[in-house]
């Protein structure tokens, strides 16, 4: 399994709506099951926090039954989500995403607070907001 972050460009105007996509790719020749609650991100981390508050962590809510949280990915199958951001502060913004190997209640923008809960991370995506 691998994670990637994608966006149309790396330099944005502050007035633009930024769309960022995280993709979990089953890069093997065998099927794999992914719990959609374990995919965290995309999470924007501005160099200058907005209003002194941290940005929220992007996760999916829990489905009514545990089997509905499971997504089967065929070989080379893809699962992902898109998040949009408006009015990010000018300067550098680093976007993070990661996949857990178990549920954790302590999630940070770039990793879970419990190191043993991390399975894989995407390469951070650096954006410039003008």
The pLDDT tens digits for 3-33 are 999 999 999 999 999 999 999 999 999 999 9
What pLDDT is stored for residue 109 in this prediction? Answer: 95
CATH number for the domain harbouring residue 41: 2.60.40.10
Where do the DSSP E strands lie in the chain?
A: 2-7, 11-12, 18-25, 32-35, 39-46, 70-73, 78-85, 91-100, 118-121, 125-129
pLDDT range class, residue 49, cuts 50, 70, 90: confident
Distance CA 78, CA 76 (A): 7
Residue 95: name the closest of 2, 1, 3 by CA: 3
Domain holding 65, by residue range, is 2-129
Q: How many domains does the structure of the chain reveal?
A: 1
Rounded to the nearest integer, the mean pLDDT of the chain is 94
Instruction: Tell how far CA 12 is from the center of its chain.
Output: 19
- Mapped onto helix, strand or coil, the DSSP state of residue 126 is strand
């Amino acid at each position: 399994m691998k994670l990637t972050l994608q966006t149309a460009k790396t330099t944005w105007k502050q007035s633009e709506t930024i769309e960022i996509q995280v993709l979990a790719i089953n890069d093997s020749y065998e099927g794999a099951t992914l719990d959609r609650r374990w995919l965290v991100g995309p999470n924007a981390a501005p160099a200058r926090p907005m209003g002194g508050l941290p940005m929220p962590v992007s996760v999916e809510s829990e489905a009514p039954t545990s089997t509905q949280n499971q997504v089967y990915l065929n070989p080379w199958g893809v699962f992902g989500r898109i998040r949009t951001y408006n009015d990010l502060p000018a300067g550098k913004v680093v976007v993070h995403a990661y996949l857990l190997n178990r549920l954790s209640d302590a999630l940070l923008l770039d990793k879970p607070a419990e190191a043993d809960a991390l399975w894989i991370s995407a390469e951070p995506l650096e954006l410039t907001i003008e």
